[in-house]
Structure 1
């Protein structure tokens, strides 16, 4: 089993290039991040080349973070900003060799928001296809992100069907699915053709995966049996130093 370090949570007390190096030293096979835009792409690319790691993906900007925004693509009236964020993410991904972009929907659960999300995703997929990039959408659970547009994998599958683009995939986060839908393994089996990336963390506390309501030894075995070979994203919140949270890599991996 291969693993990717999500540097939005792991080693996030370090500059991104140093976090990439720390992930390599810890034995991760790849890295991924949230919002790297304050770091020059050339510095990130240099760290990736130095370590030999691939950056699997990054997120579009959230919008006005101080106002509590968490994505723009499902917000009617914000299309210009949403598409500028998509263009920015594509440009950054190309510069560092990332292949996936998580297009963040934002807080809006209206019918109009759904139409806006589909239209912005159509734009994202068209622009991303020019660079052979995959666009990802991720349901966020109501406990962590109340009011977020995309809440379940069922809803995500409907959006993917409406957009109809071959480069639009589901970011399947076992943590969010576990909190919202419960049966992670059944949903993995059912949704496998739609999945572009898989992430994990313990349920319900979003900590390392070696405890909690989900038996990740079983989940990882099932993922492997399904023929999944891309590194799984460790997107959990360490309780303390990241290096002290990594025992699961040997006990579960």
Structure 2
């Protein structure tokens, strides 16, 4: 058993990195090349960190080698989601799937330790019908408490993310306020909200006020243009203003770039120039 690390949502910021710190999402960005080649592309583009959905199709040693070779930090990945190709979007809130969810945490911890990753997104799953919502809520709390307890010894924070009902019509968790209520109900020090500004704008709006209201429980931010989920240089949100506000407010967590490039990834990185790794 490794020594206990105190959970932290705000890691120290290396002096050579501008703020905010941006992580390329390798599940959506740099898709011009195969997955293992994307680490080099991200580092060459100036990113200090990377995130992706699921690492489990690749050997942990191979991913760790790519991170080390290109001096990248693994910021985030997701816990096993169930049958993703079959439409499942997580297991944490699904009654009757507790054993599968908890067994999947063994893989999470194995990858997290090898990749030195301290944040894991735990997806809730889809709501079968309204009558199931109450039972799902109780299952969600129990599974999140279990995950937080297992993660604590490794210094890992469990993240929960509200996802908009347009992109995932049946997802269990859709609102920022609901996510913060769940964090309070679980009551663990190492559970936090993953606030994706794209999802939050669609469901809640008033992004900066929403961020400030929940800041103490926000462990990770993600971005994309609204409404098309492309680069954060067009659409409803004024991202340069938001980045400046995050910097001024002292947010020194990571900002994950979970967007779908309009064309090839590199040609769309003009927005990133002021915040490149120096």
* Smaller-chain TM-score bracket: over 0.9
| 1:30 equivalent in alignment to 2:53 | no
| Structure 1 residue 83 corresponds to structure 2 residue 126 | no
Deviations 1:181-223 (A, max 9, x none): 0111001111110010011000111100000000001111111
Q: In the alignment, which residue of structure 2 is the partner of 1:98?
A: 117
Shift of 1:229: 1.6
The 2-side partners of 1:51 and 1:176 are apart by 30
Q: Bigger shift: 242-251 or 204-213?
A: 242-251
Between 1:3-12 and 1:13-22, the stretch displaced more is 13-22
TM-score (normalised: structure 2)? 0.88
The 8 Å contact of residues 219 and 253 in structure 2, kept in 1 or not, is answered as no
Any idea what SS the aligned residue of 2:74 has?
coil
Distance in 1 of aligned mates of 2:99 and 2:265: 38
Shift of residue 27, structure 1, vs aligned partner: 0.3
What TM-score comes out, normalization by structure 1 length?
0.96
Residue 67 of structure 2 is matched in structure 1 by 48
Cα deviation for residue 240 of structure 1 reads: 2.2
1:183 maps to 2:202: no
Q: Does 1:12 align with 2:35?
A: no
Q: How does 1:173-252 map to 2 (within 5 A)?
A: 173-250=196-273
Tell me if 1:161 matches 2:184. Answer: yes
Contact kept, 8 Å, 2:119 with 2:156, in 1: the verdict is yes
Report how far residue 15 of structure 1 moved: 3.6
1:52 Cα deviation from its structure 2 partner: 1.0
Q: Which residue of 1 aligns with 2:140?
A: 117
Structure 1 residue runs of 5 or longer lacking an equivalent are none
CA displacement 1:36-77 (0-9 Å, x = unmatched): 111100011111111111100100122112321010111111
After the TM superposition, which of the residue ranges 86-95 and 207-216 deviates more from structure 2? 86-95
Q: Per-residue deviation at 1:99?
A: 0.8
Counterparts in 2 of 1:91 and 1:128: CA distance versus 1, 3 Å = same
Aligned counterpart, 2:151: 128
Determine if contact 2:91/2:123 at 8 Å carries over to the other structure. Answer: yes
Q: CA deviation at 1:17?
A: 2.9
8 Å contact from structure 1 (residues 16, 39) kept in 2: no
5+ unaligned residues in a row in structure 2: which ranges? 1-18
How far apart are residue 13 of structure 1 and its match?
4.7
Distance (Å, rounded) in 2 between the aligned partners of 1:241 and 1:59: 25
Q: Where do 1:147-158 residues align within 5 Å?
A: 147-158=170-181
Structure with greater contact order relative to length (CA < 8 Å, sep ≥ 6): 2
Compute the displacement of 1:33 (Å).
Answer: 1.0
* Partner Cα distance (1:145, 1:139) in 2: 10
**What aligned pairs does 1:65-80 form with structure 2 within 5 A after superposition?**
65-80=84-99
**CA gap 1:214/1:122 in 2 versus in 1, 3 angstroms:** same
Deviation at 1:86, TM superposition (A): 2.4
